[in-house]
Chains A and B, each alone.
Chain A
Amino acid sequence: MSEQLHDLRLTVNGVAHALRVPARRLLSDALRHDLGLTGTHVGCEHGVCGACTVLLDGLPTRSCLMFAVSAVDVDITTVEGLTEADGTLGAVQQAFLECHGLQCGFCTPGFLTTVTAGLRQHPTPTEDDARDMVAGNLCRCTGYTNIVRSVLRAAELAGGEA
């Protein structure tokens, strides 16, 4: 029996895409394989590492714990959507660059999306707030110190309105 395919439209970073996928296609795989948006990374595929975090209507969500067929009524923002319209880095990306908030970069897309949403909730975070903001994301390289610094710097760059 060949697997049934579903025709869907996903709105990613403001652009509507049509795709045809089996129901079991994870949103993370649809983004990477079907749409070629490989900025979203996939680590554990069971919700623990946070690398695959994207924004659904502005809220951080694990794209590995969602099927593409379920993501049709929402606006999806991936790390590619965090850059400014003119192609320069967004505040959170710029802060990670300045503060060495990444080493290998595997975890980074998940941190960038999570922190972007986090700063909307907490435009002027304390260091504790910054730690809490990223507590659900794992990084094997940095030791987190520079990530926390990046969060605080991003808040500065965004001038209290990330």
Chain B
Amino acid sequence: MKPAPFAFVRPQGLQHALEALAADEGAKVLAGGQSLVPLLNMRLAAPTTLVDINGLPALDEVLVSDEGVEVPALARQADVLASTAVRRVQPLLGLALAHVAHATIRNRGTVVGSLVHADAAAELPMVLALLGGHLRVASTAGTREIPADELFAGPLESTVRHDEIAVSAFFPALGADEGVAFAELARRHGDYAMCGAGALVRVEGDRVTRAWVAYLSVCDVPTVVDVELDDVGAEALAAAAERALGRLDPVGDVHASADYRAHLARVLTVRVLREAYDDARARAVGGRADPLGGRADPLGGRADPLGGRADPLGGRAESRP
């Protein structure tokens, strides 16, 4: 199918873009188009104006500092994934990005666009929520920061207003006493996951002081749970998974039943907590290898940590954009 007609604006600067958005209540921002254009093609959305921000200046350079990673609106997922500086300061970003769609989609899709799109099955909203990052948005009225825990309002619904442009997202750096891990299960590498989890674990010596796990594709919005972990024995980890499940409300759909999702959440919780703990310990005892093995490779996918290989035959074509 083809999109319904719309007026097209290619603004020269941010102010012009913001004015164009403010002028039409039915206007929408077009970034990488990897989520929006499928919706237009299927006529699930019919904005009256599209404001194409791709030509805006100074919105593509990722800023990496000791505090964290600031990703501007036009930084493509592929470029953020390929950045070793980003992986050094906040490894979880690269771990998760490797699971976002396929290389071809990441060449065009933006990190910020994925956050605004707010798909509960998407990896990046979960990462922002787990790390307690924020989104910086601008409108003709000025700029504001939306913390991650106020950003995701419901399925495909963020609190970014129609006349606002998200100019950047901020992902806090990994602390010296912290470790992270990510795992997801998808029918086919590159598809949306049936369930995914990320963990952030803080240690003091070999003792866990705090541990959080965040989930994607389990509830309507990315959900972060403080699992109150204090040791990483099998029993403690299993108990942490039960505690997490008590706070989750897995939904069933054509991809996985609610029970199956609960099962996956349990298994993945144990796995990511253990890995994040090991990661924190490895960092504490001096350095830790690049989690992606230094293979800054935006084109070649990578092995799935759950052992699922890129198998073009091993699953249905996922048709959700």
Interface residues, chain A, with chain B CB atoms under 8 Å away: 3-4, 6, 22-24, 26, 29, 44-50, 53, 56, 59-62, 64-67, 69-70, 73, 114, 117-118, 121-122, 125, 128-129, 131-139, 143-144
Q: A65-B38, A69-B10, A70-B52 are in contact. Are A24 and B2 (CB under 8 A)?
A: yes
Chain B residues positioned under 8 Å from A50 (CB to CB): 102, 104
B189 touches A47 (CB 8 A): no
A131 touches B105 (CB 8 A): no
Chain B residues positioned under 8 Å from A135 (CB to CB): 102, 188-190, 301, 310, 312
Which of the listed residues A23, A65, A136, A138 has the most CB atoms from chain B within 10 Å of its own CB?
A: A65
A136 to B122 alpha-carbon distance, docked (Å): 17
Q: Taking A29-B2, A67-B50 as given, write out 10 further A-B residue pairs in contact, using a Cβ cutoff of 8 Å, ordered by the A residue number.
A: A23-B5, A24-B4, A24-B5, A24-B6, A44-B319, A45-B1, A46-B41, A61-B104, A118-B299, A135-B312
Chain A residues positioned under 8 Å from B190 (CB to CB): 135-136
A131 touches B7 (CB 8 A): no
B55 within 8 A of A: yes
- Lowest 4 A-B CB distances belong to which pairs? A136-B102, A23-B8, A46-B38, A135-B310
Choose among A29, A53, A69, A125 the residue that contacts B104 (Cβ–Cβ < 8 A): A53
Q: A69-B8, A69-B52, A70-B52 are in contact. Are A143 and B313 (CB under 8 A)?
A: yes
Chain B residues positioned under 8 Å from A134 (CB to CB): 312
A122 touches B300 (CB 8 A): yes
Residue on A with the closest CB to B101?
A136
Shortest beta-carbon distance, A7 to chain B, in Å? 12
A-B contact pairs, 23 of them (CB 8 A): A23-B5, A23-B7, A23-B50, A24-B5, A45-B38, A53-B104, A59-B107, A65-B38, A66-B37, A66-B108, A67-B50, A69-B8, A70-B10, A70-B52, A117-B299, A121-B298, A131-B309, A132-B310, A135-B190, A135-B310, A136-B102, A139-B312, A144-B313
Choose among A22, A26, A65, A67 the residue that contacts B108 (Cβ–Cβ < 8 A): A65
Chain A residues positioned under 8 Å from B313 (CB to CB): 143-144
Residue on B with the closest CB to A29?
B2
A64 to B33 alpha-carbon distance, docked (Å): 10
Interface of B, helix, strand, loop or mixed by DSSP: loop
B158 within 8 A of A: no
Choose among B41, B107, B303 the residue that contacts A45 (Cβ–Cβ < 8 A): B41
Residue on B with the closest CB to A139?
B312
B297 touches A121 (CB 8 A): yes
Shortest beta-carbon distance, B31 to chain A, in Å? 11
Shortest beta-carbon distance, B147 to chain A, in Å? 31
A136 touches B105 (CB 8 A): yes
Which of the listed residues B4, B54, B318 has the most CB atoms from chain A within 10 Å of its own CB?
A: B54
A138 touches B312 (CB 8 A): yes
Chain A residues positioned under 8 Å from B7 (CB to CB): 4, 23
Interface residues, chain B, with chain A CB atoms under 8 Å away: 1-8, 10, 30, 33-34, 37-38, 40-42, 50, 52, 54-55, 78, 101-105, 107-108, 188-190, 297-303, 309-313, 317-319, 321
A132 touches B301 (CB 8 A): yes
Shortest beta-carbon distance, B155 to chain A, in Å? 18
Chain A residues positioned under 8 Å from B4 (CB to CB): 24
B38 touches A23 (CB 8 A): no
Chain A residues positioned under 8 Å from B317 (CB to CB): 44, 48-49, 138
Residue on A with the closest CB to B298?
A121
Residue on B with the closest CB to A137?
B312
Chain B residues positioned under 8 Å from A121 (CB to CB): 297-300
Chain A residues positioned under 8 Å from B311 (CB to CB): 131
A62 touches B300 (CB 8 A): no
A24 to B38 alpha-carbon distance, docked (Å): 12
Chain B residues positioned under 8 Å from A56 (CB to CB): 107-108
Chain B residues positioned under 8 Å from A139 (CB to CB): 312
A64 to B36 alpha-carbon distance, docked (Å): 12
Q: A121-B297, A129-B300, A144-B312 are in contact. Are A60 and B107 (CB under 8 A)?
A: yes
Chain A residues positioned under 8 Å from B8 (CB to CB): 6, 23, 67, 69
